[in-house]
Structure 1
Amino acid sequence: MTFVQVIDCKTSRIDELNRLMDSWVEATQGKRTATHSIVGRDRTDATHVVEIVEFPSYDEAMENSRLPETGRIFQELVAACDQEPTFTDLDVLRDEQLNKIVVRNFFEEVANKRNFDAQDTLCTPDYQEHDPILPTGVIGLEESKAGNRQLHAALGPVVTIESLIAEGDQVSARFSFKGRHTGEFLGIDATGREFSATGQATFRCEGGRIAESWWNTDDLGLLRQLGVIKT
């Protein structure tokens, strides 16, 4: 179970606090078990600082606390605070990356369920899609919906999400897909051949919707499997 530790302190020496954090990150390289750290300052009290540190589990957090580098930096941290910091230990009950949910829904609804009109709710009205295979390089929402209809009519792909990684307003997806070439695709008449390929896409989200996407798929490998390109 993921474990989170919240460190709450009062300090007027923010620069010193940042220096200590940088020193700890450098000193524990290759040793620390912490996976994510966020430091925030209270907008109503500039001396009130909260750090949230994430660990894969409580046991790994304890392993991290036993590092001599952690102990040394902690003593310096206490000295930099106006009063003794407080600690809150939390077992994470739920952890939702909301932007990952909308991207996952995009693949499930649009790619696998063929519900192309779902893009109207999953994407912003000014959605832009970038793909090097496109003649113009970039298209809008209606063009994307039409393109998806044509693509699925020709290839009938079934998509499997291999991994999703979220950072800030962006989500990176690694996926695989397979299908059969039963209709015209890129001017190529149906071959009836089965295929499987991989791809990667990055999505930028705004207000719970997808505002922009960048796609890269193994088009060369796909064309080889369709017999268009000989190896």
Structure 2
Amino acid sequence: MSFVQIIDCKTSRIDDLNRLMDEWVAQTKGKRTATHSIVGTDRSDASHVVEIVEFPSYDVAMRNSQLPETDRIFREMVALCDEMPTFTDLDVVRDEALYKANSRRFLELVAGGEDLSLLDQVLAEGYHDHDPSNPTDVIGMDAVRREVEMWRGGFDFAFTVEDQIAEGDRVCTRWTWHATHTGDFMGLQPSGIAVEMTGTMIQRFREDGKAVAGWWQYDMLGLMGQLGAVEA
């Protein structure tokens, strides 16, 4: 279970506080256990500062607190604050990365037998798809549906999500594609051959959680080799 600590303080010396945090980051390099830190100021009170620090677990956070550099920085931070900072310790009981979930849902819709109109749930109308196997980019929902229908017409397939990394408005998904060649595909008649392909997909999302662009990388040459179209 991951753990989050919220540090709440009031100070008029924001720049000094930022420099102090930079010092802590430099001095604890290779030793600190925090995985993510966010510092924000209250829009209605610029002297109200909140820092949110994430750790893999409470025990790991306690090891971070016991670093001598952390103790020294804390004492200096207290001196910069107008009043004693407060700390709130939270065990994370729910963590929803919605963009990541929508990327997984997109792959499920592409592979499943569901109506392709459901792609509207996860893709913006002007979705721009960058695929190295296509001479031109696929732009717009109608073009995306035609592309999916082409793959569905050639294979029965499913995706296994191996890894996902989210950063800001982008999600990178590493996947394995398992398929059976059941229909015509790029002039190749159905063979019944079971094939497998690995690749990645990076998608950029807008505020409502719908993807507006995607970039694919996958082993098309390896796929054609498995189908006997090129020398393996």
- Mapped to 2, the partners of 1:165 and 1:80 lie a distance apart of 36
Give the equivalent residue in structure 1 for 2:48.
48
How far the C-alpha of 1:16 sits from its partner, in A, is 1.4
- Mapped to 1, the partners of 2:23 and 2:111 lie a distance apart of 46
Map 1:122-133 → 2, pairs under 5 A: 122-133=122-133
TM-score (norm 1): 0.95
TM-score (norm 2): 0.94
Q: Contact conserved, 2:41 with 2:49, CA < 8 A, in 1?
A: yes
Please say if 1:116 is aligned against 2:95: no
Name the SS for the 1:198 alignment partner.
strand
Q: Contact conserved, 1:110 with 1:118, CA < 8 A, in 2?
A: no
- Mapped to 1, the partners of 2:138 and 2:154 lie a distance apart of 21
Give the equivalent residue in structure 1 for 2:210.
209
How far the C-alpha of 1:210 sits from its partner, in A, is 1.3
Quick one: which amino acid aligns to residue 37 of structure 1?
Answer: S
Q: Contact conserved, 1:112 with 1:159, CA < 8 A, in 2?
A: no
Give the equivalent residue in structure 1 for 2:134.
134
Name the SS for the 1:46 alignment partner.
strand
Name the SS for the 2:46 alignment partner.
coil
Give the equivalent residue in structure 2 for 1:96.
96
How far the C-alpha of 1:114 sits from its partner, in A, is 4.2
How far the C-alpha of 1:156 sits from its partner, in A, is 1.6
Map 1:17-28 → 2, pairs under 5 A: 17-28=17-28
Give the equivalent residue in structure 2 for 1:222.
223
Name the SS for the 1:179 alignment partner.
strand
Quick one: which amino acid aligns to residue 70 of structure 1?
Answer: T
How far the C-alpha of 1:194 sits from its partner, in A, is 1.6
Show CA shifts across 1:155-200 (max 9, x none). Answer: 2221101111111111110000111222222233333322111010
The 1:161–1:113 alpha-carbon spacing in structure 2 relative to 1, beyond 3 Å, is farther
Give the equivalent residue in structure 1 for 2:188.
188
- Mapped to 2, the partners of 1:148 and 1:114 lie a distance apart of 12
Quick one: which amino acid aligns to residue 79 of structure 1?
Answer: A
- The alignment yields a C-alpha RMSD, in angstroms, of 1.4
Quick one: which amino acid aligns to residue 11 of structure 1?
Answer: T
Q: Contact conserved, 1:102 with 1:122, CA < 8 A, in 2?
A: yes
- Which structure 1 segments of 5+ residues have no match? none
- Mapped to 1, the partners of 2:2 and 2:222 lie a distance apart of 39
Map 1:154-193 → 2, pairs under 5 A: 154-193=154-193
Give the equivalent residue in structure 1 for 2:76.
76
- Which structure 2 segments of 5+ residues have no match? none
